[in-house]
Amino acid sequence: MELIQLDPYRWEVPQDHERGMRVPARIYADDRLMAAIRNDQSLVQVVNGATLPGIVGASLAMPDMHFGYGLPIGGVVAMDPDTGVISPGGTGYDINCGVRLLRSNLVEQDVRPRLKTLVEELFRRIPTGVGSRGKLKLSPADERAVTLRGARWAVQQGYGSEADLACIEAGGCLEGADPDKVSSKAFERGRSQVGTLGSGNHFLEVQIVDEVFDEHIANVFGLFAGQIAVLIHTGSRGFGHQVCTDYLVVMERCMERYGIQLPDRQLACAPFRSPEGQDYLAAMRCAANFAFANRQCITAWARQVFEQVLGMGPRDLGLALVYDVAHNIVKIEEHLVNGTRRQLVVHRKGATRAFPPGHPEVPPQYRAVGQPTLIPGDMGRASYVLAGTQRAMEETFGSTCHGAGRALSRHAAKRLAKGHAIQRELEDRGIIVRYTGRATLMEEIPEAYKDVTDVVNVVHAAGISRKVARLRPIGVIKG
Amino acid sequence: MRSAGYRLFGTTADVGVSAWGGSLGEVCAQAARGMFAVLVDLRSVRAREPYPLEACGEDAGSMLVAFLNELLFLHTTREIVLRRFEVLVASPDRRLGTARPHSRLRATAWGEAIEASRHTIETEIKAATYHRLLVARRNGRWRARVILDV
């Protein structure tokens, strides 16, 4: 495969008709990250993305890219709605997996003396782990309401406030969700999982703003050096997994009828305007809303725990939502393509929306500086807050990276972790960790991930987002 | 190599199962065992209760994926773990709507309710995927490869 380096941070696989590519593939990486990327099959997956009918511009991959299903993790593809397709494999199983950041009025010394109790209480109150079941007992009618109203449902139930909704991508609720397009299996799988963190790489972290890179933007986001913050990373749980599973089957059955041929079955898709495509879109939106509600409920419990453990009122704590952003989702967005405004079907799979200053979908209080973009790292190192840029809008359909990206397989991580007292080693570094599954903890050791700093430095240098602040964890709860 | 069995292998983000057996039914059963071996220590699971299920697909590969996803659904919603599987693949029969060969199976899985004191669920599997999916027959033996998104 021909891979051309365009500049220190941009690479291109030119359009190759023999491979069925309809557009080129473009990858954001520096030399070091590219060396790692070449080791797995993810380059082939970006190229496969370029074969999807109706793709516009280029098949894109962010520097945290690694092997995924269908598209690589870190992939972005945008389709023309009239000639293009929609693909469940272009979104992923964990629909609206995403991140939200809460800021506070606290600094480290307010929390450090009570940190252990705080982390233990967070762990007790927020269900974590494999198959974790929530405290919410939802009726089938409640669960339908969750899928229609998303975070708005949670706020109506008393979990948070209207102010929270204003700081969530799409206001915490995607319009056009239709629960009738979701299988009873998905509802059954999700029923006890609203308000659960789950397992794997999902977490809730108590963090400190470690370094501010852009004082002005940080100020607009309400962030300052030394500040305590809370980062929550989870998605739509079993509900979303089942929606993706169900629609992969639907797509596989109809592709032949629509005359779509693809190099990878996992990319199974249907024309956007087809009944199957529209049904998936409506079901995917239900799962996205499920995830927004999930993160909203967890937020409310985290606030309660802070209030109780620190003996402070909500006003003194100031645990306000900075932003909540999805990194596995399909959105209908307006973009400028060769000087023409067009509606596009943007698939982000392990990529984060990063809209620029002035964009109408950026909340008014942030509009002058761009959308807050949250990039979680591993539990031992750091996470980042970035801001969206005009360059992202022009080059990547307003998208940037989503995290560190795995460097080691789960097997390899476990082998490396064997014999290590991970929890104690982290505690020696001032990071309190509570977890449900030891296997998960071993798979999630910091060494299993690329350094998120390397990834963020590429998107910053390439100009598709701006570094605003780095946060480091001091308390972690995991599945 | 035993006449039927499975092996687990790692990919960057996930886990794969390769399975082999003398018939398509047997290879599906072994793949299911492999998947549950990712979830739980199979030695801790007793084959107490039978759980009947069916699955179908466009071909042998998508039938296997549908079978594994159906088992995952039972595992998460019934809160059970499974260790023994008997799988019968229906022969093509136009009247039963199974015109395509190797596209429909009927199975019984045996296992028990999850008990926290005896079963440690190691991982959450989101789904069995189509990625690098392989179901093939060579020299009268069946082989399968499925990658699990964990």
Q: Rounded to whole angstroms, how far apart are CA atoms A444 and A378? A: 7
Q: Rounded to whole angstroms, how far apart are CA atoms A234 and A212? A: 25
CATH code, domain with B131 = 3.55.10.10
Domain that holds residue B110: 23-149
Mean pLDDT of chain B: 91
Closest-CA residue of chain A to B148 = A69
pLDDT at residue B92, rounded to an integer? 60
Nearest by CB to residue B124, choosing from A188, A198, A245, is: A198
Phi, psi of A267 (to 5 degrees): -85, 5
Q: Show the domains of chain A with their CATH numbers.
A: 4-478 (3.90.1860.10)
Q: Rounded to whole angstroms, how far apart are CA atoms A208 and A101? A: 12
Judge whether B5 lies within some domain.
no
SS3 for B83? Answer: strand
pLDDT at residue B12, rounded to an integer? 65
Q: How confident is residue B97, by pLDDT bands cut at 50, 70 and 90?
A: low
Q: Rounded to whole angstroms, how far apart are CA atoms A323 and A121? A: 24
Judge whether B73 lies within some domain.
yes
pLDDT at residue A129, rounded to an integer? 79
Active-site annotation of A, residues: 402
pLDDT at residue A201, rounded to an integer? 87
Tokens of A137: 């007992």
* A120 burial via Cβ count (<10 Å: 0-12, 13-18, 19+): middle
- Tell me which H or E stretch contains A400: strand A399-400
CB pairs under 8 A between A and B: 95
- Tell me which H or E stretch contains B7: strand B5-10
pLDDT in tens, B106-121: 999 999 999 989 998 8
Query: Tens-digit pLDDT profile for chain A (479 aa)?
Result: 899 999 999 999 999 999 999 999 999 999 999 998 888 888 999 999 999 999 999 999 999 998 888 899 999 999 999 999 999 999 999 999 999 999 999 999 999 999 999 999 999 999 987 767 778 889 999 999 999 999 999 999 999 999 999 999 999 999 999 999 999 999 999 999 999 999 888 999 999 999 999 999 999 999 999 999 999 999 999 999 999 999 999 999 999 999 999 998 899 999 999 999 999 999 999 999 999 999 999 999 999 999 999 999 999 999 999 999 999 999 999 999 999 999 999 999 999 999 999 999 999 999 999 999 999 998 889 999 999 999 999 999 999 999 988 888 888 888 899 888 999 999 999 999 999 888 888 888 999 898 999 999 999 999 999 999 999 999 999 98
CB atoms within 10 A of CB B83: 20
SS3 for B57? Answer: coil
Judge whether B100 lies within some domain.
yes
ipTM, two decimals, is 0.90
Q: Look-up: residue for tokens 């365009």?
A: A6
Paired strand residues for A168: A324
SS3 for B93? Answer: strand
Cβ contacts of B130 on chain A, cutoff 8 Å: 69, 248, 252, 264-266, 268
- Is any Cβ of chain A less than 8 angstroms from the Cβ of B66? yes
Could you give the number of structural domains in chain B? 1
pLDDT at residue A48, rounded to an integer? 95
Judge whether B99 lies within some domain.
yes
Q: Rounded to whole angstroms, how far apart are CA atoms B121 and A388? A: 40
Q: Is the pLDDT of residue B94 over 70?
A: no
pLDDT at residue A395, rounded to an integer? 97
Q: How confident is residue B96, by pLDDT bands cut at 50, 70 and 90?
A: low
* Cβ-contact A387, A359 below 8 angstroms: no
Judge whether B17 lies within some domain.
no
Contact: A69, B133; criterion CB under 8 Å:
no
* Cβ-contact A363, A387 below 8 angstroms: no
* Single-letter amino acid, residue A271: P
Contact: B130, A252; criterion CB under 8 Å:
yes
